Amino acid sequence: MTPAVLEIDASPTTVRLLDAGPLTDAHAEAWEKFQSLPVPARTDEHWRFSSIKALDLSAYTAPQPIDDTTREELLARSTGLAASAGRMVFANDTLLRREVLADTLRQRGVLWLPLDEAMRNHGDLFRSRFMREDAILGGAKFAALHASQARAGTFLYVPRGVEIDLPIEAFHWLTGEGGSIFPHTLIVAEAQSKVTFVDYFESPESTAGFACAVNDLWLGDGAQVTYVCAQNWSGQALSVQINSTVVGRDATAKALTVNLGSRYARSESVSHLRAPGGRSDMLAVTVAEDAQEIDQRTFQIHEAPNTASDLLYKNALDDSARTVFSGLIRVSPGAHKTDAYQKVRNLLLSDEAEANSLPGLEIEADDVRCTHGATSGQIEDEELFYLLSRGIPLRESQRLIVYGFLEEVLQRLGSEPIAEKLSALLHAKFDAKH
């Protein structure tokens, strides 16, 4: 299913996504798979509690071209961190701008390329890691669609022992009514390397569109990768994001997703702890308002002994928002000395908000430490009283409590500039309403 060389038609038409067909001949196998796989059904455990009807793709068209005015506007709005090692900006799956890496990094063999260039110039390396892990949390059909349509996104290759201090950033804009995009992020971090990557998913207006993203992380022995995704699509968007992280010996993966946008957002994250000493931290923060549904599925798979995983997902829900968290820790036979933790916390801010939690464990080794917890509740009267009694108005007090609740997760990143940036996004969304 992996394309040989991607030669993309530069002038997309307004063809409906479901009639679009594979992007190139090389994508055909994935397109066939997409068509043959069944649409998720209510009885599928991976879609339990999900609003299946939100998944109708018939309204969307293939990615639309960007005119010059929009291009300038989006570039102006693509402000990331004050200091970064590189930045690429895409809109509707077209590359708008590329701020390249410092020469020193390139000289040490670091590759950071748009997808098509990676396929053209580093085909073997790229293909050996492109969508090599199956989507096992229910999204196989969407993964196949992505594989048949992927034309935009970035490939980052960090050679052995190379440490990149500043974060690398990519913006993906989804704009125009009914359009679709397929952002791809592939990070291959060789042994003892170190990198931080931030994806920003943005819409400039509140139109409905469809985003189907895949991000895969490969960590060689002792590698350290931090991946951040700020999901801030339009509140009318339908989005699906599928992740797999493969953690090598003594490697450390840290992933944080901030969910702000989408009418329905589905994310599937799988951590494969394949070699001893590996560790994966899975973090997420969600602010869901109006009729948003944020549907998060996670899987911590301990396949080797002495591995650790730690998951913390926090959801703040207002209006008639819904969240689904379904997480599973699996400890395979022989994966002794596993230390796995999973925690989901839901803060309900309105009487119509609904939080569904399905924290699961499947343990097939006996010398392990595995714990999970799920709580759902509201702002405690005592907490509120404490702030009120110090003269802080009610609204402000509630906001502070919600921020405090969510900030804990951002702090776990250990990066002040990124935490600040994400915090600003959170506040912008929450303050718009409160």
Partner 1 sequence: MSTDTLDIDRTRGDFSYPEQHTFDAGTGLTHDTIDYISGVKGEPDWIREFRHKALDTFLAKPMPTHWASHDLENIVFKNIRYYLANAQKPKRSWDDVSEDEKRTFERLGIPEQERRFLAGVEAQFDSEAVYSNIKAAVGEQGVIFCGSTEGLKEHPEIFRKWFGKVIPTGDNKFSALNSAVFSGGSFIYVPPGVKVKHPLQAYFRINAENFGQFERTLIIADEGSEVMYMEGCTAPKFETATLHSAVVELVAMKGAKIQYITVQNWSANVFNLVTKRAIAHEEAEVKWIDCNIGSRLTMKYPGVILKGRKARGEVISIALAGDGQHQDTGAKMVHAADETTSNIVSKSISLGTGRATYRGLVHIPKHLKGCKNNTECDALLINSTARTDTYPAITVRGTGNSSQHEASVSQISAEQIFYMMSRGLTEAQAMSLSVNGFVNDLVRQFPMEYSVELKRLIDLEMEGSVG
- Residues at the contact surface with partner 1, assessed by CB under 8 A: 43-45, 48-49, 333-334, 336, 346, 348-379
Rank residues 35 and 376 by Cβ distance to partner 1 and give the closer one: 376
**What is the distance between the alpha carbons of residues 246 and 272, in angstroms, rounded to a whole number?**
5
Q: Is there a contact between 288 and 258 (Cβ–Cβ < 8 Å)?
A: no
Q: Residue 204: CB partners within 8 Å, gap ≥ 6?
A: 70, 73, 74, 77, 173, 175
Q: Least CB distance from residue 401 to partner 1, whole Å?
A: 13
Rank residues 394 and 424 by Cβ distance to partner 1 and give the closer one: 394
Q: Which amino acid does the sequence have at 226?
A: T
Rank residues 351 and 382 by Cβ distance to partner 1 and give the closer one: 351
**What is the distance between the alpha carbons of residues 323 and 159, in angstroms, rounded to a whole number?**
39
Q: Least CB distance from residue 355 to partner 1, whole Å?
A: 5
Rank residues 190 and 289 by Cβ distance to partner 1 and give the closer one: 289
Residue 391: Cβ within 10 Å count: 8
Rank residues 174 and 370 by Cβ distance to partner 1 and give the closer one: 370
Q: Least CB distance from residue 48 to partner 1, whole Å?
A: 7
Q: What number of CA atoms fall less than 13 Å from residue 227's CA on the CB side?
A: 27
Q: Which amino acid does the sequence have at 380?
A: E
**What is the distance between the alpha carbons of residues 12 and 8, in angstroms, rounded to a whole number?**
9
**What is the distance between the alpha carbons of residues 373 and 94, in angstroms, rounded to a whole number?**
42
Q: Least CB distance from residue 56 to partner 1, whole Å?
A: 23
Q: What number of CA atoms fall less than 13 Å from residue 400's CA on the CB side?
A: 13
Q: Least CB distance from residue 402 to partner 1, whole Å?
A: 13
Q: Residue 404: CB partners within 8 Å, gap ≥ 6?
A: none
Q: Least CB distance from residue 376 to partner 1, whole Å?
A: 4
Q: What number of CA atoms fall less than 13 Å from residue 184's CA on the CB side?
A: 28
Rank residues 156 and 335 by Cβ distance to partner 1 and give the closer one: 335
Q: Least CB distance from residue 218 to partner 1, whole Å?
A: 29
Q: Residue 311: CB partners within 8 Å, gap ≥ 6?
A: 281, 282, 283, 298, 300, 327, 341, 342, 343, 344
Rank residues 38 and 391 by Cβ distance to partner 1 and give the closer one: 38
Rank residues 16 and 46 by Cβ distance to partner 1 and give the closer one: 46
**Residue found by looking up tokens 């703040």 in the block:** 316
Q: Least CB distance from residue 294 to partner 1, whole Å?
A: 15
Q: Least CB distance from residue 260 to partner 1, whole Å?
A: 21
**Three-state secondary-structure class, residue 428:** helix
The DSSP secondary structure of 44-71, one letter per residue, reads -GGGTT--GGGG--TT-BSPPP--HHHH
Rank residues 164 and 353 by Cβ distance to partner 1 and give the closer one: 353
Q: Which amino acid does the sequence have at 197?
A: F
Q: Least CB distance from residue 293 to partner 1, whole Å?
A: 13
**What is the distance between the alpha carbons of residues 292 and 165, in angstroms, rounded to a whole number?**
36
Q: What phi and psi values does residue 192 have, to the nearest 5 degrees? A: 60, 15
Long-range residue pairs from 420-427, CB within 8 A, at least 24 positions apart, any chain? 421/80, 421/81, 421/198, 421/230, 422/228, 422/230, 422/256, 422/258, 422/285, 425/230, 425/232, 425/258, 425/260, 426/258, 426/260, 426/285, 426/287, 427/403
Rank residues 21 and 276 by Cβ distance to partner 1 and give the closer one: 276
Q: Least CB distance from residue 328 to partner 1, whole Å?
A: 8
Rank residues 59 and 365 by Cβ distance to partner 1 and give the closer one: 365
